[in-house]
Amino acid sequence: AVEQALLSPPLTKAVLENLAGVAKEPGIDGATIRDLLRAHRAALEPQVYESSMRTLVMDAITTISEILTCGDVAPWTLILAQIGIEHPAALHSHIWQLREWLSEGLANLVNADILAFQSCRVLSDVLPSWAEQAELSDRKELA
């Protein structure tokens, strides 16, 4: 029921903001967000779920970029980290953005530690499936 209230399609930025609001609540951790994502996956057709995860990722990355210098990125990065665990393919096309968040140019930001930690975490979850997908694509091209 909570999943339906928070993540009902079509996913909009308001839906993501509601999910970020949940992530900010005391006692809410990554496992809670993952449980919501799993319930969301169970309630949808696979292609609809994949599309919704890509939408969440795009909106979260956009929001982080917008609030990077003046806002709290923790709930947004927590959401990205949990999507990276549950559906790493949704982040494949954003690996370069995650890598950029590790750059020294961001070291002076208030959110630099959180951003670097969560970026490393997401990359460690996403890169294995990204490399596997790239290898499969290369094999298909050779065949």
Instruction: Say how many CA atoms lie within 13 Å of 26 toward its Cβ.
Output: 0
- The pTM of the full predicted model, rounded to 2 decimals, is 0.83
Structural domain harbouring 135: 2-142
Count of structural domains within the chain: 1
Q: How confident is the model at residue 142 (pLDDT cuts 50, 70, 90)?
A: low
Each residue's pLDDT tens digit, 90-128: 999 999 999 988 876 676 677 888 888 899 999 999 999
Both tokens of residue 135?
């290898």
Each residue's pLDDT tens digit, 22-76: 899 999 999 999 998 898 888 888 998 899 899 999 999 999 988 888 888 999 9
129: burial class by Cβ within 10 Å (0-12, 13-18, 19+)? Answer: middle
